[in-house]
């Protein structure tokens, strides 16, 4: 199987930074359209109600003036006409009231109590399901209407009572507003539906953007995994070559150094130099073995163990390194014997040793290295190692976990990579952060059962 190296190394596409601003602008524009359409619809309905009420008022006022001016038995006929108006069309009630008193006719139904109205013939008031409008009307009669030649009201005329209608009046109309209210409800329902649609659109766009972000993160993770796989492949070849070419000569040199140490006097400088040679040659062998094991790890072998005991043992082995830099080691562990967990002995040792060695090398002379072990819950443990060094910048925290990447001059770049592999083999994860007061905090979490299995 072939790999597209260019595609694997290509940085994943990230959502454009202007995407959220464009999305907000789009949603704000759509919201503005919804508000504008809703206001326009309600204003149109209000104009319809105003026009309808004024038209009816003018028709009723004209009818009242004509009947009172030219008709016979005018008062009775006015009452009949008002009844006909109230009984037909969308007028629910109509009343005619003389301003100076004396005449008050009303037919139909009115709200109770009546709101305050301005009798100008233009201003309508919506009260419940009734549209109310009041306006002026002036009645001027011509004769009593009792005989053909009568041009004025005479006291002896039998229709004189009906002829005394001259004066200023107020016409009050109560119009059925339910059709207009239904139209208003329709406008509000349309606005509500548009808002729901807008929210759905916004939610969909946000979900799509979140999906793009997840895809970008997944692409980054795949790129890192591909890079790690290629690094391990290169490391495996290098480790195999080193093991073959170096271990045999190193073994011979170690044997010669041991022979020199045995032949030299116990307290002589030669014996001390020989012992140092043996220790350094053993260190070379361990580094080669670590390279080989990291590149081609064997399956983990879990067994019940006490992390407290293992951590104390490793801390004792590193006492010379701490003393050489005048560092203080603080162990913050649960009371002995401490929690029990399923551990792979070698991998757990790799985890603790590499984290402690990194902290020791990063700490300034006279500083403090802290090791903290805590049960997170009945099923998980957390190990934290803190130093007082310069810390790791946030932009480098992901890179320092990669093989062969190191911020230290001459560093191999394998310490944190080996530690991460060890904790992942236990089914956990490794996180880098800042320690309080400066420095680096490395946190490893893993399940007590080992490997994350049941």
How does pLDDT run along the chain (454 residues), one tens digit per residue? Answer: 334 433 444 444 555 566 667 777 888 888 888 899 899 988 998 888 888 888 888 888 888 888 777 655 577 877 888 888 888 778 888 888 888 787 788 888 888 888 888 888 888 888 888 889 888 988 887 755 445 445 444 444 544 544 467 888 899 988 888 888 899 899 999 999 988 888 888 888 888 888 888 888 888 878 877 776 776 676 666 666 666 677 778 778 888 788 887 887 778 888 887 878 887 777 677 667 766 666 666 678 888 889 999 899 888 888 888 888 899 999 999 888 888 888 888 888 888 988 998 889 888 888 999 999 998 888 899 999 999 888 888 887 777 777 666 666 656 667 788 888 888 888 898 888 888 878 889 999 999 886 554 4
Q: CA 103, 104, 105: angle at the middle one, nearest 5?
A: 120
Q: What is the pLDDT at residue 66?
A: 81
Spatial CB neighbours of 149, under 8 Å, sequence gap ≥ 6? none
Burial of 179 (0-12, 13-18, 19+ CB in 10 A): middle
Supply φ then ψ for residue 412, to 5 degrees.
Answer: -80, -25
Tokens, residue 329: 């080691």
Q: Is 170 exposed, middle or buried, given 0-12, 13-18 or 19+ CB atoms closer than 10 A?
A: middle
Cα distance between residue 13 and residue 132, in whole Å: 65
**Closest to 341 (Cα-Cα) out of 380, 312, 384, 315:** 380
Asked if residue 337 has a cis previous peptide bond (ω within 30° of 0), the answer is yes
**CA angle, residues 428, 433, 434, in degrees to nearest 5:** 150
**Cα distances (angstroms) measured from residue 88 to each of 60, 65, 93, 107, 164:** 12, 19, 10, 12, 28
Q: What is the dihedral of CA 40, 41, 45, 46, to 10 degrees?
A: -30
Please tell me the predicted confidence (pLDDT) of residue 443. Answer: 92
Q: What angle do CA 233, 429, 440 make, to 5 degrees?
A: 100
- Look at residue 23 in the predicted model and tell me its pLDDT: 75
Q: How far is CA 454 from the centre of its chain?
A: 34
3-state secondary structure of 175: strand
Looking at residue 145, what is its pLDDT? 47
- What's the confidence (pLDDT) of residue 164? 66
């Amino acid at each position: 199987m072939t790999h597209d190296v260019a595609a694997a190394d290509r940085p994943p596409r990230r959502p454009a930074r202007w995407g959220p601003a464009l999305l907000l602008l789009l949603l704000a524009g759509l919201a503005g359209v919804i508000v504008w359409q809703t206001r326009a619809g309600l204003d149109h309905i209000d104009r319809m109600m105003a026009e309808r009420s004024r038209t009816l008022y003018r028709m009723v006022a004209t009818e009242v003036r004509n009947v009172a001016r030219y008709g016979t038995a005018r008062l009775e006929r006015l009452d009949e006409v008002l009844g006909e108006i109230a009984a037909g069309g969308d007028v629910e009630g109509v009343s005619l009231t003389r301003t100076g008193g004396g005449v008050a006719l009303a037919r139909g139904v009115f709200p109770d109590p009546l709101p305050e109205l301005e009798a100008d013939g233009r201003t309508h008031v919506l009260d419940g399901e009734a549209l109310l409008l009041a306006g002026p009307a002036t009645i001027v009669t011509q004769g009593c209407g009792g005989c053909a030649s009568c041009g004025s009201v005479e006291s002896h005329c039998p229709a004189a009572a009906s002829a005394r209608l001259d004066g200023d009046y107020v016409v009050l109309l109560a119009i059925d507003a339910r059709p207009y209210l239904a139209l208003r409800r329709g406008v509000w329902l349309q606005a509500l539906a548009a808002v729901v649609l807008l929210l759905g659109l916004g939610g969909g766009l946000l979900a799509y953007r979140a999906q793009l972000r997840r895809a970008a993160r997944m692409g980054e993770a795949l790129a890192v995994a591909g890079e790690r796989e290629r690094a391990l492949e290169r490391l495996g070849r290098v480790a195999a070559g080193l093991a073959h070419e170096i271990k045999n000569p190193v073994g011979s040199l170690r044997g010669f150094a041991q022979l020199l140490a045995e032949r030299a006097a116990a307290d002589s400088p030669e014996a001390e130099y020989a012992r140092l040679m043996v220790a350094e040659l053993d260190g070379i062998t361990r580094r080669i073995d670590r390279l080989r094991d990291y590149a081609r790890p064997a399956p983990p072998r879990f067994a019940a163990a006490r992390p407290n005991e293992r951590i104390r043992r490793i801390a004792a082995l590193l006492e010379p390194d701490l003393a050489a830099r005048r560092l203080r080691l603080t162990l913050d562990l649960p009371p002995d014997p401490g929690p029990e967990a399923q551990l792979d002995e070698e991998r757990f040792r790799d985890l603790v040793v590499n984290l402690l060695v990194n902290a020791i090398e990063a700490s300034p002379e006279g500083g403090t290295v802290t090791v903290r072990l805590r049960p997170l819950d009945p099923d998980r443990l957390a190990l934290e190692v803190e130093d007082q060094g310069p810390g790791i910048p946030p932009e480098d925290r992901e890179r320092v976990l990669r093989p062969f990447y190191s911020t230290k001059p001459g560093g191999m770049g394998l310490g944190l990579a080996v530690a991460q592999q060890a904790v992942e083999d236990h089914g956990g994860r490794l996180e880098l952060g800042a320690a309080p007061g400066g420095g680096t905090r490395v946190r490893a979490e893993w399940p007590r059962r080992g490997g994350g299995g049941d």
